[in-house]
Amino acid sequence: MTDSDTDTLAAQLAGLLDLTADRQVTSLRRLSGGANMETWSFDLSSDDRRQALILRRRPAGLAAMDDHSNPEKPAPNAATLQGLSLTVEAQLLRLARQAGVPVPTVVATSSAQDSLGEALVMTRLDGEALPQRILRDARFDAGRERLAFQCGEALGKLHAVALEDCPGELRDCSWEEDLNRLQGLCDHFGNPSAVHQLALEALRRQPEPATARVLCHGDFRLGNLLVGEDGLHGVLDWELAHIGYAGEDLGYLCANVWRFGGAQPVGGFGAYRQLLDGYRSAGGIAPDMRELKLFELYAALGWGLVCLTMLELHETGVDKGLERAAVGRRLSESEIDLLLLLEELQL
């Protein structure tokens, strides 16, 4: 992005925030982010105060995703590709904050029709988001000791949110419907992996999960968590939130892909017992270990389908960015994880 483009973005932010003459957007810079969102850091500055803020914005190119199918091969639904709208994310942040989950405060939102595009402005929390630093830097040693318990505690509070208070746009389907959704994605990609199909059939043979139906974050893992020297500071990136089973968020955090090479089973940094103790401390009814492992299997399958989605976006030219291609080539990792879990669970 050129200096001129950055100046334009700063002017659009000033318009959204309705700034007075004595306040201005300063220190605007692009942060490393996920495949589906731009993330920017900036300050609102005046003579006597500075407010630290974050902008999350959907890149304009992603609007093309809705048109990336052809009549013979319908694309996965928009939620699979793009996630929830940032307006819905803002609603979820407010609900989570009311429940006691550490999240940023929403400052403003804009729609796709506005000059800024679909965007969310929120307060900037202190903390580190890069998994490799969190897992390896000595300054996070004490925080890592607390982190698994704190993650369980945050999920316990989130899962206590009343479903009737949740936005109506959230995906909410039964276990059978969800497995059918995954089958539809496998079929869409031409079932390139026998291992994926094997894992899906194994999940179909299992009874419906015993844990409660709750508001799930959907992507609760390092990379979407802000961590300080004292542990968890914030839960970010709510674009995959949905109504699901309590065990899903817990098992997702334990999936091998989200351990980032760490030796511990919970996010690479903690033990199962710490996570579940934290969850129970917030009133959550924790799954047994078999159900937790089944949701690790479910998460590994979901990651494989994400890899295939990213690969298709790259190969069809919808988004030729390097990040899409890099994620797509990791398909075999999901197959290895699935085979190991299938063996462990004797499925």
Q: Which residues contact 213 (CB under 8 A, 6 or more apart)?
A: 163, 243, 244, 245, 246
Is domain 3-345 given the CATH code 3.30.1360.30 in the classification? Answer: no
What is the pLDDT at residue 5?
Answer: 81
What is the mean predicted confidence (pLDDT) over 302-310?
94
Alpha helix stretches (DSSP H) within the chain: 3-17, 78-82, 86-99, 131-136, 141-158, 175-188, 194-204, 246-254, 272-281, 289-315, 322-328, 331-345
pTM (2 d.p.):
0.91
What is the mean predicted confidence (pLDDT) over 284-302?
97
Name the maximum alpha-carbon separation found in the chain.
66
CA distance 273 to 259: 16
Interval 169-204: pLDDT, tens: 999 999 999 999 999 999 999 999 999 999 999 999
Which one-letter DSSP state was computed for residue 114?
A: S
Instruction: Please provide the average confidence, as pLDDT, over all residues in the chain.
Output: 91
CA distance 200 to 279: 28
Of residues 83 and 176, the one with the higher pLDDT is 176
Banded model confidence at residue 323, pLDDT cuts 50, 70, 90: confident
What is the pLDDT at residue 65?
Answer: 45
Q: Which residues contact 312 (CB under 8 A, 6 or more apart)?
A: 189, 328
In the chain, pLDDT over 70 holds for what percent of residues?
91
Interval 60-81: pLDDT, tens: 645 444 443 343 444 444 334 5
Q: Which residues contact 134 (CB under 8 A, 6 or more apart)?
A: 128, 140, 143, 144, 222, 225, 227, 269
CA distance 242 to 166: 9
What is the mean predicted confidence (pLDDT) over 49-57?
93
Structure tokens at 267: 């996010």
Beta carbons within 10 angstroms of residue 135's beta carbon? 20
Per-residue pLDDT for 318 more than 60? yes
Q: Where are the domains of the chain?
A: 3-345
Alpha carbon of residue 115 to chain centroid: 26
What is the pLDDT at residue 35?
Answer: 57
Interval 88-145: pLDDT, tens: 999 999 999 999 999 999 999 999 888 899 999 999 999 999 999 999 999 999 999 9
Which one-letter DSSP state was computed for residue 227?
A: E
Q: What are phi and psi of 230, to 5 degrees?
A: -105, 10
Of residues 320 and 273, the one with the higher pLDDT is 273
CA distance 162 to 152: 18
CA distance 197 to 334: 12
CA distance 100 to 170: 21
What's the one-letter identity of residue 258?
W
Of residues 131 and 325, the one with the higher pLDDT is 131
Banded model confidence at residue 314, pLDDT cuts 50, 70, 90: confident
